[in-house]
């Protein structure tokens, strides 16, 4: 059997249409949701991500402001930009693109972002809220994955075994928490996991977030599993230079019941959740 493709682009279009309507309604009340994106340095992948985020904002009628800082920017300079944005009433969401240059303490910067403008959901307070089951702003990629599951009718995951491969603060950990809150039985695997395939083969829902191209092969996947591929890896030029996920799509699609493609799967939903979080932040300013 060949898996059904979960079309993240189509789902993103649908959700963004709804967001655009809600932005228009807020504008009537005199509030234009505003997102500030801060990019430090010139990492090519980050530049593409940031450009896509800014374009997506404009398409749904939100204001977006881009702050570019040189790779040599100091921590104090970045903290000062964050502080200015915290105090700017026209900005409802702040996103500092990661990774940051090594002279800057990432944790310090993320904690400096006002909790109610933390549309990335990276601030410890927002992470804590998610942990206790009272989510406010949730990290966009895992939130997008949950929307994709809901869209294929998998909202309550009682009785399902979900396996998350990867334990990052941005994806793996919040993903596991969201799956747990949806009543799944959750296993988190990582680079120190012994006999990974024996665990991934138990997954009814398999989330791959390891950052290694085509790492999860079809023979590591249970028949009829739902596979969400969070990876975005650029292949070397000698291998074609294209984008591939953490899942070996060709072999995985022969085993899974549903699978997300790369590109066009989780990626568009990540940006959509950023828009959604910015809308929520702007609505909270409607007093």
Supply the residues annotated as catalytic.
53, 97, 120
Give whichever of 141 and 272 is closer to ligand GUN, judged by the CB atom: 141
Binding mask 149-188 for ligand GUN (x = CB under 6 A): ---------------------x------------------
Whole-angstrom distance, CA of residue 146 vs CA of residue 135: 13
Which residue's CB is nearer to ligand GUN, number 94 or number 182?
A: 94
| 19 or 95: CB nearest ligand GUN | 95
Binders of ligand GUN in range 107-126 (CB under 6 A):
120
Strand ranges of the sheet holding 205-208, from the earlier edge strand across to the other edge: 4-5, 258-259, 226-229, 205-208, 161-165, 185-189
Q: Can you tell me which of 12, 34, 54, 97 binds ligand GUN, judged by CB under 6 A?
A: 97
Segment contacting ligand GUN by CB under 6 A, of 21-29, 96-104, 191-199, 204-212: 96-104
Q: How does strand 233-234 pair with strand 243-244?
A: antiparallel
98 binds ligand GUN (CB under 6 A): yes
- 78 sits near ligand GUN (criterion: CB under 6 A): no
185, burial (CB in 10 Å: exposed 0-12, middle 13-18, buried 19+): middle
Find tokens 């075994």 and name the residue.
Answer: 161
Gap between the Cα atoms of 83 and 203, Å rounded: 44
- How far is the C-alpha of 184 from the C-alpha of 162, rounded, in Å? 6
**At CA 152, angle to CA 49 and CA 190, rounded to 5?**
55
Spatial separation of the C-alpha atoms in residues 161 and 178, rounded to whole Å: 13
Task: Please work out the total of residues on this chain that contact ligand GUN, with binding judged by CB under 6 A.
Answer: 8
Q: Which residue is nearest to ligand GUN (CB)?
A: 98
Instruction: Choose which of 11, 140, 165, 179 interacts with ligand GUN (CB under 6 A).
Output: 140
Q: Is 278 in the site for ligand GUN (CB under 6 A)?
A: no
Bridge partners of residue 34, in order along the sequence: 63
Applying CB under 6 A, which of residues 95, 130, 227, 273 lies at the interface with ligand GUN? 95
Chain residues binding ligand GUN by CB under 6 A are: 95-98, 120, 140-141, 170
């Amino acid at each position: 059997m060949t898996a059904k493709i979960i079309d993240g682009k189509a789902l993103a279009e649908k959700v963004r249409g709804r967001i655009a309507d809600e932005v228009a309604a807020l504008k009537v009340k005199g509030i234009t949701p505003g997102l500030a994106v801060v990019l430090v340095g010139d990492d090519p992948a980050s530049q593409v991500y940031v450009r896509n985020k800014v374009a997506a904002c404009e398409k749904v009628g939100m204001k977006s402001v881009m702050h570019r800082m040189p790779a040599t920017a100091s921590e104090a300079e970045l903290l000062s930009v964050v502080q200015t944005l915290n105090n700017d009433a026209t900005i409802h969401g702040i996103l500092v693109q990661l990774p940051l240059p090594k002279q800057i303490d990432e944790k310090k910067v993320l904690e400096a972002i006002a909790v109610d403008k933390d549309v990335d959901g990276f601030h410890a307070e927002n992470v804590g809220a998610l942990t206790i089951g009272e989510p406010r702003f949730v990290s966009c990629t895992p939130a997008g994955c949950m929307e994709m599951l809901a869209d294929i009718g998998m909202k309550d995951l009682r009785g399902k075994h979900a396996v998350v491969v990867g334990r990052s603060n941005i994806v793996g950990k919040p993903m596991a928490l969201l799956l747990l809150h949806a009543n799944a039985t959750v296993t988190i695997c990582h680079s120190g996991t012994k006999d990974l395939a024996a665990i991934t083969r138990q997954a009814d829902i398999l989330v791959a977030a390891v950052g290694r191209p085509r790492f999860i092969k079809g023979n590591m996947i249970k028949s009829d599993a739902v596979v969400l591929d969070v990876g975005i890896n650029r292949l070397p030029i000698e291998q074609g230079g294209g984008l591939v996920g953490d899942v070996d799509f060709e072999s995985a699609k022969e085993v899974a019941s549903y699978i997300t493609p790369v590109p066009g799967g989780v990626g568009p939903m990540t940006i959509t959740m950023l828009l959604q979080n910015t809308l929520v932040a702007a609505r909270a300013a409607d007093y």
